[in-house]
Copies of this chain bind each other. A is one copy, B any other.
C-alpha cells in the first residue's frame, strides 16, 4: 500500500468522523454518552421510548449553564454599568448609597447593603423605561461591554459545548427554552442570535409592566415592582405558565435549578437531567458547595442519588468558549 493514499484515506476518515459528531467539543465519556443515548431513544420511531417532536421540550438554565456567571451574574455587571451611564441624569446619586460608593468605584461598598442595595440598583436600572427603550439599552451594552477578567464580550463567554448541545437537540426536533433566574427582557435581545432561541422561548424573572397611551401611541412601561421570580420553586411554575407541558430534558448548574430537574425527572418515559459542574479553575472557575453565586450543593447530592448526568467542565469539555 502506498503511503500517500493511506494518509489521505485516514485524513478523510477523521474528517468524516468529525463531521458526523454533533458534539465535537465533548470528550468521549459518560456525560456525552448519556446525551447521545437519550436523543437516540426519544427519536427512535416505533419504540416505547419514542417522544413525538411536539413533546420534545428542553429547558436550559442560563447563568452558569449556557454562559459564565463569575465573578458575579453578568446582569448585575450590566446594572452597575448602567448606574455609571445614567449618573449624569441623577445628580442626587452622588450623595446617596448605594450609588455614591459605586460611582467612586467601590463596588464592594455599594453591595455591602446586601439584598436591599441590590434590589435598589436593579430597579433603578431596569424600571422606569418602556420595554423598547430597555431592549435598546441591553442591546447597546451587550454589543460593547467587556468582562473584567477575560476582556471578552459577554456573548463570547457562552459555553461552546452547550452551543453544540442546543444545535444537536434542535436538529433532533427539540424546542429549546431558556429558563433562567435572570431577567426575561435582559436575555431576549440577544438569545436568538447567540443561542438560536427566539424571544417566545425565553422564560425568566420579570418586573411588572403597564400598558399606557403616550400621545396616541401605546407603550409598555416597566414598573419598579417584582412580577415573577423564576428561580428554585419558581422554575417549574414558570415552565407551566409559559410552556404548559413538562420538559423531557433539563439542564442546570446550581441548586436554583434543582426543582426544574425534579419536575422534569418526575414525568413518565425517558428523561435527561444534567448538571454542569464548574471544576475548571484553569480555563474557567471552580466552585460548588460553598459558592454564593451558582451554589451546587443539594443538587449535587440529588444528582448522585438519582443517577443524573454530571458534566465535569474540566474532564468532559475540550473547549470552554467558542474560538475567537
The answer to whether A220 and B240 have CB atoms under 8 Å apart is yes
How near does chain B come to A98, taking the closest CB pair, in angstroms?
A: 29
Task: Please state if B206 and A263 are interface contacts (CB–CB under 8 Å).
Answer: no
What B residues does A237 contact at CB under 8 A?
209-211, 220
In contact, B209 and A245 (Cβ under 8 angstroms)? no
What B residues does A188 contact at CB under 8 A?
A: 244
**Structural contact, A241 and B200, CB atoms closer than 8 A:** no
Contact A199 B245 (CB under 8 A): yes
Of B175, B200, B217, B218, the residue contacting A244 (CB under 8 A) is B200
Complex: A217 Cα to B218 Cα, angstroms? 45
Report chain B residues within 8 Å CB of A233.
Answer: 210-211
- Establish whether residues A200 and B266, one from each chain, have CB atoms under 8 Å apart when the complex forms: no
A173 within 8 A of B: no
Q: Is the CB of A209 within 8 A of B240?
A: yes
What distance in Å separates the Cβ of A306 from its nearest Cβ neighbour in chain B?
A: 11
List CB contacts (< 8 Å) of A234-271 with chain B.
234, 236-237, 240-245, 259, 262-263, 266
Q: Tell me whether A240 and B200 are in contact in the complex, defined as CB-CB below 8 angstroms, given that A259-B218, A266-B218 are known contacts.
A: no
- Residue A68 CB within 8 A of the other chain: no
Judge if A54 is at the interface, Cβ distance under 8 Å. yes
Known A211-B233, A220-B237, A237-B220; judge A185-B244 contact (CB<8 A). Answer: yes
Chain B residue contacts of A234, Cβ below 8 A = 211
- Chain B positions within 8 Å of A243 at CB level: 199-200
- Kindly list chain B residues whose C-beta atoms are within 8 Å of the C-beta of A242: 200, 242
* A249, B201: Cα distance in complex, Å: 20
Interface pairs (17), CB distance under 8 Å: A185-B244, A188-B244, A199-B245, A200-B200, A200-B201, A200-B242, A200-B244, A206-B241, A209-B241, A210-B237, A211-B233, A211-B236, A211-B237, A218-B236, A218-B262, A220-B237, A220-B240
